[in-house]
Amino acid sequence: MDATVGEIGEVVVAELASAGYMASTIGQYEKTIRALAVFAEDRGGVYSPELGAEFSSMTVSLRTGRFSAQRRFDYRRLVSVFDSYVCGGRVDLSVRKRGGGGPRPVSDEFAGLDAAWEVEMDDRGLAPATRAAYGRVARSYLVFLEQGGIGRLGDAGGRSVLAFLESLLGRWAKSSLFWVVSNFRPFLVFTGRADLVDALNLAGVRRSHPIIPVLSDEVEEMVIRACASGAVSARDAAITLLALTTGLRACDIVGLRLTDIDWRGMTIGIVQQKTDNPLCLPLPALLASRLADYLLDERPATVDDHVFVRSVAPHVRLADHASVHRVTVTTFRRAGVADPKAGTRLLRHNAASRLLCSEVALPTISAVLGHASPESTNLYMTVRRDRLVECVLPVPEGARP
């Protein structure tokens, strides 16, 4: 197909408008189309995938002379759309994420090791979220080595592991390094380097076990009132209530499909992404009402069968747990909660704690939360301060000062 940048651009802009994209997004596409048209002038203005590849490689800002992540994203996005039209005859507006999971190693050995680790995780059948976490920290370590002038794993010693963890303290709280170590260890084991695993253990990073906070009755009532009154959209109310009343994980909220809802039985049935175990949850009346409002009156027309989709085009499933976090925090703010801390992890803990305070047995709470092991639920026992005090033994008379 021989077509000019201008001709293809008109088709793309028309498709964006037809799909309901925001004017600001269409304007950004138009700006990039103009830049591509200028780039193609000396070639008669005709577009080809080869020209697009050259254009998308221009990631240095002419204004600052530095690498521009925004330019890379805009240029690659437009070229992908143009290529879909030239090669397939249709404009593909699939959502593309920025960054691709962070920087990737460039040396032959490290790039090959990264690819081999991805294959290994796939063979193990790890959940997508787990694979993403394991892969991200492994690549970060390999990139860290490259930045230090090391291009072969054989040249890396145990000190590199400790230095890598030290380098993360500017971005991670020390108490959160446990999760980095937990995600890092499987990769080091995969490399067969026992000395690197020993160095990781030598770091002595331990998981903290703070007493888990719960929402006060006042805050919980404010949030529920906001969800019921229409202060937030039906979609955001349903997402918040799902997290608040059922303790469902963010990844499972994002992955929820229309067929997972049993309206006759008023239940939600899923296979958990984290544990791969089936889970059936009751659908409380308020949640069912707001969910129905969303599906019947608010949800955009789309072929995507996920329950919760983007409110702006393209109308596809939410991207990840960060999307759910933004929704719940926004809901808390509109409910009048000052300084809201409303991640799904907190709301999941809150749901468990409420059940525990209502004298629900731990095995039942474990079943509701979908824990792979009932012992995971023991963590929530820390919220019952009154019960913890009852467990304290008196100091023997002879031991008192």
CATH classification at residue 235: 1.10.443.10
pLDDT at residue 152 in the model: 92
What 3-state class would DSSP assign to 74?
Answer: helix
Structure tokens at 183: 């995600």
- CA distance linking residue 316 with residue 253, whole number of Å: 14
pLDDT at residue 190 in the model: 95
DSSP 3-state percent helix, strand, coil across the chain (nearest 5): 60, 5, 35
Domain enclosing residue 268, as ranges: 217-387
Residue 53 and residue 172 share a domain: no
Residue 224 and residue 367 share a domain: yes
Residue 192 and residue 234 share a domain: no
- Total domains present in the chain: 3
Is 368 a domain residue? yes
User: Using an 8 Å Cβ cutoff, are 379 and 389 in contact?
Assistant: no
Residue 222 and residue 270 share a domain: yes
Is 32 a domain residue? yes
User: Using an 8 Å Cβ cutoff, are 283 and 276 in contact?
Assistant: no
Residue 134 and residue 26 share a domain: no
CATH classification at residue 170: 1.10.150
pLDDT at residue 154 in the model: 94
Which residues of the chain have a pLDDT value below 70? Answer: 1, 95-102, 171-175, 207-213, 342, 357-362, 364, 367-368, 370-401
Residue 154 and residue 21 share a domain: no
pLDDT at residue 99 in the model: 44
Residue 245 and residue 323 share a domain: yes
Per residue, the 3-state secondary structure of 81-112, as one string, reads HHHHHHHHCCCCCCCCCCCCCCCCCCCHHHHH
Q: Is the dihedral of CA 383, 387, 393, 394 positive or negative?
A: positive
pLDDT at residue 125 in the model: 84
Residue 333 and residue 271 share a domain: yes
User: Using an 8 Å Cβ cutoff, are 95 and 319 in contact?
Assistant: yes
Is 93 a domain residue? no
pLDDT at residue 261 in the model: 95
Residue 198 and residue 230 share a domain: no
Is 401 a domain residue? no
Residue 253 and residue 328 share a domain: yes
CA atoms within 13 A on the CB side of 40: 26
Residue 298 and residue 181 share a domain: no
Is 82 a domain residue? yes
Residue 279 and residue 171 share a domain: no
pLDDT at residue 375 in the model: 59
Q: Which residues pair with 267 in a beta bridge?
A: 262, 282
Is 101 a domain residue? no
User: Using an 8 Å Cβ cutoff, are 343 and 292 in contact?
Assistant: no
- CA distance linking residue 229 with residue 147, whole number of Å: 53
Is 345 a domain residue? yes
